[in-house]
Every structure is written in C-alpha cells, then in structure tokens.
Structure 1
Amino acid sequence: MKKVFLTFATLTLVATMSLAQTKWKMDGAHAWVNFSVMHQGLSFVNGSFSKFDATIEANSKDLKGAKLTASIDPASVNSGVERRDKHLRSQDFFDVKKYPKATFVSKKFKKAGKNKYKIVGDFTLKGVTKEITMDAKVLGNFETKKGSKMGIQATTTINRYDYGISYAKGKNAPNGKEALAGDIKITINMEFVAKK
C-alpha cells in the first residue's frame, strides 16, 4: 500500500510540474493600446494610452484556458490635441481623479481557430464593470536565450454609455449623425516575454 501511495504521489508531482504555469509579462517598449470613435459621422478620432500593464498566465503553449490581467491609466490618454485630452480626463469622460485605473480580468480564454482566441472577461471603467469579449490573435512567437517571446493583437468594441460616459448623448451634428458616437473600438498590440 505504501508503494502504491508513493507511486501515486510521484505521478501527481510530475503531472503538476508538467502543468506549471508560464507567466508572460508585457514588454512595454513594444506595446500599444489604441482607441477610435466616430465624430459627427465624418471621421474617426483616434487616441492611445501610454501607461498600462498586462500579464498572461498559461498552462500550455496554445494559451487555451490562460488568464489575462491588464490595467490602464486613463490619465495617460493621448489623442494628439492637449485641449481634448484635458477634457477626456475630466468628469465628462474618464474622471481620472476619482477613477485612476481601468482594468480587465479574463474569465475565459477560448480557442477560436488557428492562433485565434476569444477572450471573455470583466472590464471595469469609471467604476462600472461589464463583461466583454476580445477577438485575439497570436501574431508569432519564438525562443531566445533569455526566454520566450510572443506577439498578440486583440480588438473589441465597447459602448461608452454602458460605463456612464454620456457626454453629448442625444446630440446630433447638422447631418443628423451623432455628434460623438457611443461605440469605441479598442485595438491592443503587445509583445510578451516569458523569462527562463
């Protein structure tokens, strides 16, 4: 009985070691978080955030069942126009003094094709949490002497009204289009590193 127990314990340990989690840390020098919103039905206003972080924990190389955790500092918004950025930091939009962080925590990391995934999780912005789905694709990966590298692109669309950002809601431009659309497209491009 003792030998059986020892054999079972050894197998369990080996299995646990084989499923040891790999932690992927974002490479901040090669990462972008961009957004786009329609203005007056005429053009898109584009912007980005310069301060953010993300990690992925995975038990397998194909990322199935992995966990993504990310945060953004809304005060780091940059749309190319300082006056507009100041407005975006105000209570009309991000209210950064009261809500200094936006976060995402995944609940599901599902395979959706070759190198493609559906990442479902909770996105919190301005104190409101909603479940969103990101369409993600692994753009490439390879090994280096220092560890593994991987590139991921993910996109999603959120509605700002869901998060209490209702500035100009119901107001239209002379062409009848929304002065500022509710839908915000978010595009994330990131390189991750798993150190040996």
Structure 2
Amino acid sequence: MKRNIVIATLTAAALATGGTVAAFAAGDDDATATQRQTDTNAQVAADRDDDTGADDRDDDVSEDRTAVSHGGVTAADAIAAALKHTPGTALSADLDDDGADAWEVNVVKGDGTEYDVRVAPDSGKVLGALRDTDDDSDADDRAELAAAKDARTDAREAALAAAAKGTVTEVGLDDDNGTVAWSVDTVKDGKQGEWKVALDSAKVTQDHDDDA
C-alpha cells in the first residue's frame, strides 16, 4: 500500500511539472521488464525505418540517364535537332551522364568532317558543335560510315523503332562479323536492354552478343 502511494505521488508530481512519468518501485521486476521490452521494440522499429535498402538497390538504375525522365527530349528528337544544326549523317547519339546532362550526337558532314553536337535534354536546343580533329578513322569506321549513308534506316529511325522496347539511351553503329546494324540501348522498368536494328528493314531484334 505504501509503495502504491509513493508511485501515485511521483506520478502526480511529474504531470504537474510537464515531465515524463517513469513509474517504478524497488523490487518490482514486472514493471522493469515491461519497460525494457518497450524500449527494445521502439529501437527495432527505428532500425527498420533507417535500413529499408529498397532505394539503395535502385540507385544505379535510377541514375540511368535521369535527364531522359525529367527532360523529355528523346534520342530521336536529339538526332533531329543535331542534323538541323549540322547537316550530315548521324552515326551515334548518347545521353551524356558525366554531369553535363546533354545528348551528344556524332555527325559526319558531306565533306567528311566530323562533329560532336550537344543537345539539351530538356529543351532540345543545340548547345554547341565541336569538330572532331582526330584523324584516326580506320577501315571499319569508313565501312560503317558508308553503310550508314546507304542505309534505308538512319539513326533517328532506329531510335524510333527501338523506342517500343523502352527509353532509348544510346544508339550507334555496330559491325558484327561484317554485318553492320544499329545498336540501341534502352531502359524499361529499371532493366536495361540491348537491341539490333537492321539498316534495311528497321527490324528490331534482341542483342545476345554480350550474354554470358
């Protein structure tokens, strides 16, 4: 009885001063055990909140060219803008994710000069065109250029064809054992895909070259 009176007195005093009530009594093991269990449950819940891990698993994929998701300018749009600014044959388009967040379209003009045209992913505005002065093209490069010039399906059309498979993040030429085709990378539902687009028919097939 005396113990209960002491607890009641302490509780009333704590409430009157706005403090936190911590009811305990010497030798009251049940109350102590209950308090410890409550503290443990609270700590476990807090740890779960801090260690979801779900977002961390998606970090690499969500980095996948975030400019596409919030910019709206597709690979096909970027190629069209680049060719309007710098007429020629587009050989590749790549969404640069090195911090600049811009499409980089490689264009070869009629006189053979090569330019890297940068296109803003949010507006489609051409940010600039830098001439590539490296004269290191080999026989394969020349063959790919000739194939692209003669192709019924250009880089823009290849990007449009592959867009049915996901968001296009890169398009370029690939010579596979003498057969040149457009190689297109896509992202859909957090998964990356690689596709071949035929130069003559725009037929899209999955690229199994890199499969283990």
Same-fold status (TM-score > 0.5): no
Instruction: Flag the structure with higher helix content.
Output: 2
User: Shorter-chain TM-score: what band?
Assistant: under 0.3
Rg comparison, structure with higher value: 2
The structure, 1 or 2, with the larger RCO (C-alpha pairs under 8 Å, 6+ apart) is 1
Instruction: Flag the structure with higher strand content.
Output: 1
TM-score, normalised to structure 2's length?
0.24
